[in-house]
Amino acid sequence: MEISELGEFGLIKRLTKDLEHKNTSTLKGVGDDCAVIAPEEGMQTVITTDMLMEGVHFDLTYMPLKHLGYKAVMVNLSDIYAMNAIPRQITVSIALGKRFQVEDIEELYNGMRLACDAHDVDIVGGDTTSSMTGLAISITAIGVAPKDAITYRNGARETDLICVSGNLGAAYMGLQLLEREKAVYRQMVRNAEDEARANGTNIEDAINAIPQPDFAGREYLLERQMRPEARKDIVQRLKEAGIKPTSMMDISDGLSSELLHICHESKCGCRIYEERIPIDYQTAVTAEEFNLNVSTCALNGGEDYELLFTVPLTANDIVSGIDDIKVIGYITQESLGKALITRDGQEFELKAQGWNPLKG
C-alpha cells in the first residue's frame, strides 16, 4: 500500500492503534497534541535524543527495517541506562522517502515495539514527515531515577576502578563483514548484468540467481551490529550488589573516546590494560581475517552499547564477582595523563579514534 493512500494521520493511527501503556506514569500517549506524563514521587527525569540517518548511521542494503527499528530504540535506552536510570517512555519521529510503502514502515515500527516491550517502555508520541534524502529516525527517550542514584560522567576519582560490561569490537567486525559482502554483491550484480546483456537473457533473472553470502559462524558479530541490546541487566546487577558507579557512559563511539570523555569531565587521568579488554573469540578470528589489530577494533570500533563505568577501589571484590563485568584499569591524577598499557608492558597515550560523524 502506498503511504499516500493513508496520509500522515492515517499512517500514525495504523502504526499505533493497539499500543498499550506499561507505566502508570504514562497518562496520555498517542492521539492528542501532547503526551502527558506524571512525575514519579522521589524521582528525577532524564531525557535523551538520538537521530539515525540513512547513509550515515545505517545502510538499507543489508539492514532489515525490523532490525533497524529495534536498534534505533536500543541506542536511546542505552543512554538512559548509562545514567543509572530506568527508561519509561519514548517518542518516535520518522522522515520517509517516496520509495517506502506502508508495510515497510510497519516492519520498522514492529522492531521498535519489540524493543519497547523487552524493556517495558511506552511509545507516547512523535511525528512523521516526508524526506528527499532517504530515511531518518529521531527518538527521544525519557527515564527516571532517584536523585541520589543518577550517575554522571564527572564523578570518577583517583584510584577508582575502570570497568566495562560484555565484550568490545564485535559490532565493528560485524559492520566490516556486511560492508565486504555488499561490495562483493555489487560486483556480482555488474558481472551478471554484463553477462545477461551479452547472452540476451533476462537481467532481473540473472541478478536473482546471485547466491546469498554465507555468514555461518559469524552470527554473533552480525547480531551485535544489527540488533544490539541495552544493558539493563548490568544496571540491575550493580544495584543488587549495592554498588553505585562514580561515573558511567555507554560505549557508542568507541572505548577510547568514551573513556577520554569521562577523564575530561572528571578532570582525571587513567591507565587501562590491553590484556584486560574483553574480546569475543569470533571478533578476534574475524579481525585476523581482515588483517586488523583486534585491540584497535575493541578500542575504537564503537556501537557496542556496553557500559563503561568507574567504581571505588573498595568495591573491587564485589564488582569482580559480577558476571559479564571486567575491570580493565584505574583512574589516576590528571597530571599522569591517559595511557594504554600494552601486553608487552609498553605505555602509549590513549587517543580518541572512535566514531565522530562531524569530523572532516
Read off the CATH number of the domain in which 246 is found. 3.90.650.10
| Confidence at residue 354, expressed as pLDDT on a 0 to 100 scale | 55
Residue 154 lies in a domain: no
**CA 221 – CA 62 distance, rounded (Å):** 14
- Does 133 map to a domain? yes
Supply the pLDDT for residue 157: 98
Output phi, psi for 296, to 5 deg.
-65, -40
Question: Within this chain, do residues 65 and 191 fall inside the same structural domain, yes or no?
Answer: no
In a domain, 354, yes or no: no
CB-based contacts of 205, cutoff 8 Å, min separation 6: 196
Paired sense of beta strands 269-273 and 338-341, if any:
parallel
The pairing of strands 122-130 and 86-96 is parallel
Helix crossing, 281-289 with 219-226: angle to 10°?
100
Round to whole Å and give the CA distance between 248 and 165. Answer: 11
Cell 519514548 locates to: 90
Q: Which residues contact 288 (CB under 8 A, 6 or more apart)?
A: 294
Tell me the C-alpha distance between 219 and 185, whole Å. Answer: 19
Regarding whether 227 and 192 lie in a shared domain, the answer is no
d(CA 255, CA 251): 6
- Round to whole Å and give the CA distance between 131 and 133: 6
Confidence (pTM)? 0.91
Please indicate, yes or no, if residue 360 is contained in any of the structural domains.
no
Question: Residue 43: its pLDDT value, please?
Answer: 95
Q: Looking at the structure, tell me whether residues 213 and 228 fall in a common domain.
A: no
Q: Which three cell numbers stand for residue 61?
A: 542494503
167 grid coordinates: 565484550
Provide the 10 A C-beta neighbour count for residue 98: 11
Q: In this structure, are 227 and 205 located in the same domain? A: no
**Domain harbouring 42, CATH code:** 3.30.1330.10
CA distance 173 to 170: 5
Strand-pair partners of 332: 269
Is there a single domain that holds both residue 183 and residue 273? no
Has residue 285 been placed in a domain? yes
Same domain, 226 and 314: yes
Same-domain status, 233 and 320 = yes
Answer yes or no: do 312 and 165 share one domain: yes
Q: Please check whether residues 187 and 278 belong to one and the same domain.
A: no
Whether 114 maps to a domain, the answer reads yes
Q: Which amino acid is at 93?
A: S
Are residues 324 and 278 located together in one domain of the fold? yes
CB-based contact 316:207 (threshold 8 Å): no
Dist CA 288 CA 275 (whole Å)? 17
Averages of pLDDT over runs of 10 residues in the chain (360 residues) are 76 79 89 87 95 94 96 98 98 93 94 97 92 93 96 98 98 96 90 88 86 90 97 98 97 96 98 98 97 96 96 97 97 97 95 60
Distance CA 18, CA 342 (A): 54
Quote the number of domains for the chain.
3
For the chain, where are the E strands, in sequence order? 26-28, 36-37, 43-53, 86-96, 122-130, 136-146, 161-165, 247-250, 269-273, 307-311, 325-332, 338-341, 347-349
Q: Is residue 153 part of a domain?
A: no
Claim to verify: residue 92 and residue 22 sit in the same structural domain: yes
Tell me if 198 is assigned to some domain. yes
Which has the closest alpha carbon to 253: 324, 179, 325, 305? 305
**Secondary structure percentages of the chain, helix, strand, coil, to 5:** 40, 25, 35
Q: Given this model, what pLDDT does residue 236 score? A: 97
Domain range enclosing 179:
175-218
Q: Are residues 123 and 206 in the same domain?
A: no
**Torsion angle (degrees, nearest 10) of CA 93, 14, 226, 132:** -50
